[in-house]
Amino acid sequence: MLITETWLKGNISDNSVINELVPSGYCFIHKPRCDRRGGGIAIVYKAYINIHCRPTITWTAFEHCEIYVSNGSWKTILSCIYRPPPSNNNKIKTSTFIYEFEQYIGQLAILPSQLLVLGDFNIHVDVMHDTIAKQLSDCLSKYNLTQLCNVSTHINGHTLDLVISRLNNELNLKSLIVTDLLISDHYPVVMTYDIKKETKSATKRIRYRNVREINNDNFSRDISNMSVDISKCSNMTEIITTYIIMDY
């Protein structure tokens, strides 16, 4: 589960909130916004899932948390994004976000793994003539990426929360559901992916002779001492078969 706008402060006062949020058997990773109110992102996952946090640089126009999920040969980078809308307080320009996000997504796109980038972008991607939405779309196309959420995710009727993956994604998206749970102005985006569990191949036991360890003198003696008359064998295959049977 990926969460944006946690409003955690990065100090001891967060502990009670985290303990209430995270059920038994789950782990919690988060990056709070420590310099001012609001913001913050978090990832909650089952404890048995093999993940590790990827070291990343800090961007000025958006917050993000990135993990690497692996299951045998199946490997995926999962990134949670929160882009605060520009305001007089944060003084973040839209052009800065587009530039920084293109730098960031370009670094991810060249990595040899599956890729999912999700979060609150605060961009009206459903508005065809929206300038920043067009710039974001061009950025994704440049790196062969696509945006999968095409329904309203906000109480005011716009698509602000996005799901970005590769065009040739090997992850099989079975469903994407957006439902108003009446707990936020943003609706949760619930996705189900069909991920094949890697199975161990069957163990095959092979019995063989190491010909380099054969003592030629002993081998000749064993042949001479065979109780079966190999002179009655019509070919080499019969001789070898007879020897193997006697060896067992």
Residue 22, domain extent: 2-194
pLDDT band at 200 (very low <50, low <70, confident <90, very high): low
Looking at the chain, the number of H-run helices and the number of E-run strands are: 5, 11
* Statement to judge: residues 148 and 110 lie in one domain: yes
* Statement to judge: residues 134 and 217 lie in one domain: no
pLDDT band at 248 (very low <50, low <70, confident <90, very high): very low
Q: Is the pLDDT of residue 13 over 80?
A: yes
Q: Is the pLDDT of residue 111 over 80?
A: yes
123: left (phi over 0), alpha (psi -120 to 50) or beta: beta
Q: Please tell me the predicted confidence (pLDDT) of residue 141.
A: 96
Q: What is the mean pLDDT of residues 69-95?
A: 88
Q: Is the pLDDT of residue 25 over 70?
A: yes
Q: Which amino acid is at 94?
A: T
Least confident interval from 77-81, 116-120, 218-222, 223-227? 223-227
Asked if residue 201 is part of any domain, the answer here is no
- The number of folded domains in the chain is 2
Q: Is the pLDDT of residue 41 over 90?
A: yes
If one compares 216 and 15, the residue with the highest pLDDT of the two is 15
Q: Sign of the CA dihedral 130, 132, 135, 139?
A: negative
Tokens at 43, concatenated: 């990832």
* Statement to judge: residues 178 and 217 lie in one domain: no
Q: Which amino acid is at 232?
A: K
Q: Please tell me the predicted confidence (pLDDT) of residue 2.
A: 93
* Statement to judge: residues 186 and 221 lie in one domain: no
DSSP assignment string, 215-236: -HHHHHHHHHT-SS-GGG-SSH
> pLDDT tens digit string along 128-146?
899 999 999 999 999 999 9
Asked if residue 49 is part of any domain, the answer here is yes
Q: What pTM value is reported for the model? A: 0.75
* Statement to judge: residues 119 and 40 lie in one domain: yes
* Statement to judge: residues 75 and 153 lie in one domain: yes
Question: Going along 121-217, which residue ranges are E strands?
Answer: 145-147, 161-166, 172-178, 189-194
**Contact in structure between 8 and 34 (CB atoms under 8 Å):** no
Distance between CA atoms of residues 94 and 102, nearest Å = 12
Q: What is the mean pLDDT of residues 79-94?
A: 92
* Statement to judge: residues 117 and 240 lie in one domain: no
- Three-state DSSP at 237 gives helix
* Statement to judge: residues 66 and 141 lie in one domain: yes
Q: Please tell me the predicted confidence (pLDDT) of residue 201.
A: 65
Asked if residue 205 is part of any domain, the answer here is no
Asked if residue 202 is part of any domain, the answer here is no
Distance between CA atoms of residues 147 and 144, nearest Å = 11
Distance between CA atoms of residues 66 and 196, nearest Å = 23
Least confident interval from 21-25, 51-55, 79-83, 136-140? 51-55
Chain center to CA of 69: 4
Q: Is the pLDDT of residue 74 over 80?
A: no
DSSP label at residue 14: G
Distance between CA atoms of residues 108 and 106, nearest Å = 5
Distance between CA atoms of residues 83 and 62, nearest Å = 4
* Statement to judge: residues 139 and 232 lie in one domain: no
Q: Within the chain, what is the greatest distance between any pair of CA atoms?
A: 102
Asked if residue 95 is part of any domain, the answer here is yes
* Statement to judge: residues 185 and 216 lie in one domain: no
**Separation in Å, CA 128 to CA 22, 37, 60, 211:** 39, 33, 27, 74
If one compares 204 and 31, the residue with the highest pLDDT of the two is 31
* Statement to judge: residues 102 and 30 lie in one domain: yes
Least confident interval from 8-17, 22-31, 35-44, 205-214? 205-214
Q: Please tell me the predicted confidence (pLDDT) of residue 159.
A: 95
* Statement to judge: residues 152 and 218 lie in one domain: no
Distance between CA atoms of residues 73 and 44, nearest Å = 23
CA-wise closest residue to 228 among 210, 212, 214, 246 = 246
Q: Is the pLDDT of residue 203 over 90?
A: no
CATH number of the CATH domain containing 14: 3.60.10.10
pLDDT band at 183 (very low <50, low <70, confident <90, very high): confident
Q: Please tell me the predicted confidence (pLDDT) of residue 220.
A: 78
Average pLDDT over the chain, rounded to an integer: 87
